[in-house]
Amino acid sequence: MTDTGPSPSPSPSPSPAPAPQGAPPAGQREAQSRYHRELFPALHDWERTERSVVEFSGEEGPAGLLGIDQMGHFGPQGCDLVAGAVTARAGGRPLDLCELGSGFGGALRYTVDRLADAGAGVRRGYAVDLVPEHCAVGRRINRAQGRTALRDLCASATAVPLPAASLDLVLVTGSMPHFPAPGEVLREAGRLLRRDGLLVLTEEVSLTPGREEPSEAFRATHPHGVFFTTPVAVRLRELELAGFADVARTDLRRWAVALLSDRLKALRIFRGSVAGIYGAGPTDRIRMTLEAARTEFVAGRLCPALITARRA
């Protein structure tokens, strides 16, 4: 394993197939749906929101969306890291891939476009999310953008309705903290991947240096039951148990602090325009969410990272 971060504290075209046995933990669908609807209510009225974004940015299509349809902590810059990691390992043939915990699908759409720009085409892409509303919005956007290679699958990330060994690439762009059982998610990723297939994770607010929890101030915007954390050493063990080799973890702490500082500056400068798209209340919640994450990064209570691994 290659680990470019600080040493962790010691601690223990495939056709869709019937879903494997497994179900999300009780209440997770409702908890994730409620949290994201309160944070991003405008995205459920996608057509109106897109018109507002185009009016603001002056550009149509994904390039003009400014990450607005996948506003995670790292936004499009995190997707650029993912695309770079994939293209560095891609063999030039078209890829079959999925994203687990895809939300509205914006990160997947953006990443697919970046891969295409780099010459790594996508033959089939699956956006896997637990919340039916998220999948429905994703389908509308894909249809409006003519994305025939992308398909939304409304399913748990621990029970994806695709055959075993059917994918070249599995992505998780920032959704790891939303999985109550991340070890099971990684085992499912291992099941889906072909031999030597690639797993790429952006761990935004999901990893802790040891077993200590983030601060209570962080939990005010990242509530228990919606966000779950895992010690770094436990995550590395989960990857090993899921059958992954050549695990590489890149410490993103300094990068993430600088990125969130830039994103917060942009929110302050363009607050009126962002509030016109999202609403004043959600815009303030987005700001507080990014501020809370940056504080934890600076304090070292969270360990943002890029992780790549190969299916052995």
Which residue shows structure tokens 């690439």?
A: 169
SS3 269: helix
pLDDT of 56 higher than 70: no
Proportion of the chain above pLDDT 70, given as a percent: 80
265-282 residue pLDDT tens: 988 887 887 777 777 887
pLDDT of residue 4: 63
With 0-12 CB in 10 A as exposed, 13-18 as middle and 19+ as buried, what is 80?
middle
Q: Is the dihedral of CA 167, 173, 178, 183 positive or negative?
A: positive
Domain boundaries, given as residue ranges, for the chain: 30-311
Instruction: Give me the mean pLDDT over the 67-91 stretch.
Output: 82
For domain 30-311, the CATH architecture is: 3-Layer(aba) Sandwich (3.40)
With 0-12 CB in 10 A as exposed, 13-18 as middle and 19+ as buried, what is 223?
exposed
The helix or strand, by DSSP H or E, that contains position 124, with its residue range, turns out to be strand 122-129
More confident residue, 246 or 266: 246
111-138 residue pLDDT tens: 999 999 998 889 999 999 999 988 998 8
pLDDT of residue 19: 35
pLDDT of residue 302: 98
Instruction: Measure the CA–CA gap between 138 and 289, rounded to whole angstroms.
Output: 23
Percentage helix, strand, coil for the chain under 3-state DSSP, each rounded to 5: 45, 20, 35
153-201 residue pLDDT tens: 999 999 999 999 999 999 999 999 999 999 999 999 999 999 999 999 9
pLDDT of residue 283: 83
